[in-house]
Amino acid sequence: MESHEILPYVRVYTGAFPDIEEMLSVLFEHEKTTTEDPEAPHLFEPYRPWYTFGRVTDVLRTPDDSSHEYIRKQTYFFDRVMDVRKAVIADYCDKYKVFDFINTETWIQSSVNLAEYFDGASVLSPQIDGLNISLKPKAMNYHTDFEIKKMCEDSDNFVLTCNIYWNDDYDSGEVVFFNSDQLLPYKPKRGEVLIFPSGSPFFPEDGQAFYHCANTVFKGKKYFSRNYLQYKHVPTEEMREARGDYPSGDRVKGDHHYDSLFNQMIDISTGGEKKFLVHPIAKRFYKKLGESICVNDFSKNDFFQ
- Residues 7-21 have pLDDT tens digits of 999 999 999 999 999
Task: Tell whether 242 is covered by a domain.
Answer: no
Q: Does residue 292 share a domain with residue 225?
A: no
Q: What is the pLDDT of residue 134?
A: 40
Name every residue whose Cβ is closer than 8 Å to that of residue 169 and which is 6 or more positions away in sequence: 190, 220
The CATH number of whichever domain residue 9 belongs to comes to 2.60.120.620
Q: Does residue 180 share a domain with residue 62?
A: yes
Q: Is the pLDDT of residue 304 over 50?
A: no
Q: Does residue 270 share a domain with residue 121?
A: no
Q: Final residue of a domain: which of 206, 233, 260?
A: 233
Q: Final residue of a domain: which of 172, 206, 233?
A: 233
Which one has a higher pLDDT value, 291 or 154? 154
Q: Does residue 138 share a domain with residue 80?
A: yes
Task: Tell whether 238 is covered by a domain.
Answer: no
Q: What is the largest CA-CA distance in the chain?
A: 63
Q: Does residue 208 share a domain with residue 278?
A: no
Q: Does residue 257 share a domain with residue 135?
A: no
89-103, 163-177, 205-219, 235-249: segment of lowest average pLDDT? 235-249
pLDDT interval class at 281 (50, 70, 90)? confident
Task: Tell whether 225 is covered by a domain.
Answer: yes
Q: Does residue 166 share a domain with residue 98?
A: yes
Q: Does residue 272 share a domain with residue 126?
A: no
Q: What is the mean pLDDT of the chain?
A: 83
Omega within 30 of 0 (cis) for the link into 204: yes
Contact 50, 35 (CB under 8 A): no
Contact 89, 195 (CB under 8 A): yes
Residue count of the chain: 305
pTM: 0.88
For CA atoms 51, 190, 75, 3, give the dihedral sign.
negative
**DSSP E strand boundaries for the chain:** 2-7, 10-14, 48-50, 54-59, 106-108, 112-117, 138-143, 155-165, 171-172, 175-178, 183-186, 193-197, 211-215, 217-218, 222-225, 228-233, 264-270, 273-278, 295-297
Q: Does residue 7 share a domain with residue 152?
A: yes
pLDDT by residue (tens digit) across 215-245?
999 999 999 999 999 999 999 999 999 887 7
Averaged pLDDT for residues 181-209: 91
Q: Does residue 103 share a domain with residue 196?
A: yes
Q: Calculate helix-pair angle for 20-36, 69-96, nearest 10 degrees.
A: 130
Of the candidates 91, 88, 101, 118, the residue with the CA atom closest to the CA atom of residue 222: 118
Task: Tell whether 240 is covered by a domain.
Answer: no
Amino acid at 122: S
Q: Final residue of a domain: which of 233, 260, 287?
A: 233
Task: Tell whether 241 is covered by a domain.
Answer: no
Report how many domains make up the chain. Answer: 2
* Domain span holding position 153: 2-233
Question: How far apart, in Å, do the first and last CA atoms of the chain sit?
Answer: 53
Q: Does residue 221 share a domain with residue 72?
A: yes
Q: Does residue 288 share a domain with residue 202?
A: no
